[in-house]
Amino acid sequence: MSFSNLTLNKNLLRALTELGYDQPTPIQLGTIEPILKQQDIMARAQTGTGKTAAFALPILHRLAENECEGRPVRALVLTPTRELAQQVYKNFEGYAKYTELKSAIAYGGVSIKAQITALKQGADVLVATPGRLLDHLTNGTVTLDKLQFLVFDEADRMLDMGFMDEISRVLKCVPKQRQTLMFSATFDDDIHKLGKTLLNDPQLIEVDAINTAAEKVEQIIYAVDKDRKREMVSHMIGAKNWRQVLIFVRTKQGADALAKEMGKDGIKAVSIHGDKSQGAREKALEDFKQGTIRALVATDVASRGLDIRQLNYVINYELPYNAEDYIHRIGRTGRAGENGLAISLISPDENYLLEEVEKVLDERLVAQWMPGYEPDLTKDTSGGRPKSKAQHKKRNQKGSGRAGGSGGRRRR
Ligand code: AMP
């Protein structure tokens, strides 16, 4: 099926052709029609599946069919991070290129002035992070009384990041009569609860199995001692001459330290995390896209919204505490049909985290050894693995290193 079968505005179709979008992705096939029919939806889709266009196209279509004088904000997209806000905003701009519709963006960490100027000029669509949106609402630099569409993008992450209070305050400023669309990579109880309070008789759209991202991505797990991980990563990137590698770590300090150490190994790497200024984050991303740096070392939060076309390699330097983040991470590669490779380095104390990932994916992931980096089985194995995430964190905070070697093949 092609986009032209979806009866979208011809100016939108023109932009899609230019962007090289031939066919709708499964999530787009699932959501575009119901949104056009004014249905509230709750859609499960990971980043990388084309979910932005899945809501942007029908919204733009409906806005374009009914232009509004003075361009009040008629569609609001809330995102958990500024990177995702930028990505979504860019997509709206791209799709609406041949229409008269205007979009604006509002996120924190940068001066509010330019945002106020843009809003004053009128914007049909506003893409915003909740905190900065509330600043604008409080200052009266934006009003939402003409809102028709409210979109929650990556709703699961919004909850994880503690945005519930902000969301409640935003809801007081939007009309009750509206269409609400919620996108989330996962549907757990909290998301269902939130959906019930926000949505009106929503259509549930789950075109993707939870592990769709994983299907296009080859996953390799290497068992390796913690203190040899950095050496192994630099070796892999150097020996295989990988040019663009996204590396995930758990902490901001860890990201900084790894990028620095890799630099000493001759691999140009930069860290990206929440403590970096917006300018630094944008520059890092741009340098990465341009290929002036080979490795981007990111925390989970910072990685949201990174859309790098044809990213082939993702390395999990450490597994995330939240198994669902694994799906988000590996979804950074294999985007929109591309193939990707996701490599995870597992030290013995992370075996329980791998088990959590396996549960979420409903798939067994067998660890292997890389020649020259086999785990040292003679090392202390008395530590045992931590029984809980809290214990694991505590152990790491103490800096106690590895917690016991179970060997390359994991026991189950
Ligand atoms: P998203 O899940 O919205 O982050 O989209 C992931 C990537 O897929 C982005 O680079 C989009 O531009 C691209 N994309 C979205 N829809 C399509 C499509 N129908 N055909 C080709 N590429 C697409």
Question: Which DSSP helix (H) or strand (E) runs through 229?
Answer: helix 229-240
Q: Which residues contact 267 (CB under 8 A, 6 or more apart)?
A: 234, 237, 238, 294, 295
The partner residues of 76 in beta bridges, in order of sequence, read 126, 150
Distance from residue 92's CA to the centre of ligand 1 (Å): 12
pLDDT, greater one: 381 or 330: 330
Q: Answer yes or no: are the C-beta atoms of 23 and 5 closer than 8 Å.
A: no
pLDDT interval class at 5 (50, 70, 90): confident
Confidence of residue 108 (pLDDT cuts 50, 70, 90): very high
Cα dist. 160→188, 191, 298, 356 in Å? Answer: 12, 10, 18, 18
The pLDDT tens digits of the residues spanning 116-171 come to 999 999 999 999 999 999 999 999 999 999 999 999 999 988 887 889 999 999 99
Q: How far is the CA of 261 from the centre of ligand 1 (A)?
A: 34
Q: Rounded distance, CA 67 to CA 62, Å?
A: 9
| Structural domain spans, the chain | 3-206, 217-411
CA of 233 to the centre of ligand 1 (A): 29
**Could you tell me what percent of the chain has a pLDDT over 90?**
59
Residue nearest to atom 12 of ligand 1 (CA): 50
360 pLDDT higher than 80:
yes
CATH architecture of 217-411: 3-Layer(aba) Sandwich (3.40)
What pLDDT is attached to residue 269? 96
Q: What angle do CA 321, 327, 331 make, to 5 degrees?
A: 135
The mean per-residue pLDDT over the stretch 386-395 comes to: 47
Domain spanning 3-206: CATH 4.10.1240.10 = no
Ligand 1 site, residue 48, Cβ cutoff 6 A: yes
Question: What DSSP state is assigned to residue 374?
Answer: -
The verdict on the CB of residue 49 being under 6 Å from ligand 1 is: yes
Q: List the strands of the sheet with 269-272, edge to edge.
A: 269-272, 295-298, 245-248, 313-316, 340-346, 217-223, 367-368
What pLDDT score was predicted for residue 281? 84
Alpha carbons within 13 angstroms on the beta-carbon side of residue 167 total 23
**How remote is the C-alpha of 91 from its chain's centroid?**
15
3-state helix, strand, coil in the chain (%, to 5): 45, 15, 40
Flag whether pLDDT at 403 surpasses 70.
Answer: no
Cα distance between residue 319 and residue 326, in whole Å: 7
Residue 283 in contact with residue 261, Cβ under 8 Å?
A: no
pLDDT exceeding 70 applies to what percent of the chain? 86
* pTM higher than 0.75: no
24-43 pLDDT, tens digit each: 988 999 999 999 999 999 99
How many whole angstroms from 397 Cα to the centroid of ligand 1? 39
Asked whether the domain spanning 217-411 has the same topology as the one spanning 3-206, the reply is yes
Give the pLDDT band (50/70/90) at residue 353: very high
Find the mean pLDDT for residues 370-394: 62
Dist CA 62 CA 4 (whole Å): 16
Q: Report whether pLDDT(335) > 70.
A: no
| Residues 225-268: tens digit of each pLDDT | 999 999 999 999 999 999 899 999 999 999 999 999 999 999 99
Sheet arrangement for strand 203-205: 103-106, 125-128, 75-78, 149-152, 179-184, 41-44, 203-205
Structure tokens belonging to residue 119: 């809003």
